[in-house]
Structure 1
Amino acid sequence: MNFGIGDQRDRHRWRIRAVRGGRWVRERSRKGLSSLPHLFTLANLAFGVGSLILTMQGEWRLASLMVVGSLVADGLDGRLARWLKADGEFGRELDSLADVVAFGVAPAVLLHQMALYQLGYFGLAVTIVFPLCGALRLARFNVIATSGYFVGVPITAAGTLLSTMAFYFLQETTAAPAPHVIPSAMLLLSYLMISSIPYPDFKKRSKGAGLQFWPVVGPVVALGALLWAAGWNPWAVILMPLTAYVVLGPWLVVVKKWDEKVQPWLAGANRR
């Protein structure tokens, strides 16, 4: 009888150890999965460094595609972090460090090697301004809490737009762009990154905060017209949606000002 009681106690003791062991395995597995978004963030950074190396080697097409790879990795790390509920301060800081290289430094250096070097010190200044504004944009993003929108155009959209523009000029055009096109685009995007213009965040918009239909009609129609003018070129199909998103922020500001100021004035004029 005593042997049976001792045997039951031993079994109970081993059962407790097994439960604790299973809990330890589950906790370790959860910690391992929480590190998965960081791996995609590091892949984002690796793509950016690869783009810089390919730019120095003169492989400009591949360098621009590497930035597109950074965009894919950046999108996956955010989605995984939200799905695994592993988003935190460490991931946010690491993501910013990767973004400033992949979408700030890499596109700027690529376009400098392609065209801006011909402008001397002015081209060098434009090359430096773009990643500086991108770093300011990322620093502000980390300290300002917003929901459903961004303050200023995201550096991911700005950097990918520049890289896609570079690839389009390299792949589908025989003549180099006008000297003012690239620096103008870079300076405009630099300003939009540090501006206070709100841009919609389609990933985090709540169900009741959807965009109204009619303010988006303008950019959509303009996008369709540009694609038609480009002959539905496949590389233009990639370039134009990014352009439309960059234009969407200022366009929505104009629409809001129209609703707040111009429409009431027109209503008062009609009553007179």
Structure 2
Amino acid sequence: MLLKNIKDIFHKELDEIYPAEEVDSFFYRCIEHYLHLERFALVLQPDLVLTKEEETPLFGALSKLKLKEPLQYILGTAHIMDLDFKVNEHVLIPRPETEELVEWVISEVQKQTSDTGHQTPDIKILDIGTGSGCIAIALAKKLPNAKVYALDVSEQALKVAKENAKLNEVDITFIQQDILNLELELELELELEFDMIVSNPPYVRELEKEQMSDNVKKYEPHLALFVEDEDPLLFYKAIMQFAISHLDKKGTLYFEINQYLGKETQALLEAHNFSEIELRKDIFGNDRMLKCQLN
């Protein structure tokens, strides 16, 4: 079949579900992934014919897209901070907001380096709820002198994160523990003081579930997404308590947060004796990130 005809089929089958521009993106990402063809392949070869073997994965992806499965899970890969990550149903798909959080952390470290005139310092960073490992790995990649630790409750998620660390050639210390279980303080690896703790914990309330698209609700891990309406800041409370014991003096804590609970999360930090609190919006204008310092 002609490649251009397959593109037409993508639009015929998907245009009622997704915007046409997104369908174009799906098609081009699929031919790049499965056939190693650039976007301009059809311009250079408008009559390019595919074999049956070459067609099969494209139509397989199309079938899954019709069911609203995220393309990243279909292809098994996601891209953030100029790095590639393996993803599957056990980990969240990295999002632009999380990339902004990572960039904020990196910029603060680089600013400190510039102010002191020294090279990037040897710092210890802990990523809580690491999932695919995207935050920890990006920090380790961009801050090569940092010693990075990554914690998650999910054995399956940590398996993915370890593969991603190997893929991106960084050394991360991975720890399987539940941050809601304070006995983790007994873990040898965590008898440390960290210069920075970073976390993108579960923060979507059950009442907000209906606002979310099916490709998130049906396919992404609920363990990493949702919290009960009655205690939506449960993970933030636990992480703050942990930080009080395990952040170095003047250590910094960074959170990705629920856009509807920015003020509430900030008030929680203030109540736990954190200072220098900064609430920052994401590229979409939503309250999304918090930074604070331990007194």
Q: Name the one with the larger strand percent.
A: 2
Rg (Cα) greater in structure: 1
Q: Name the one with the larger helix percent.
A: 1
Give TM-score scaled by structure 1 length: 0.30
Higher relative contact order (CA 8 A, sep 6+): 1
Give TM-score scaled by structure 2 length: 0.28
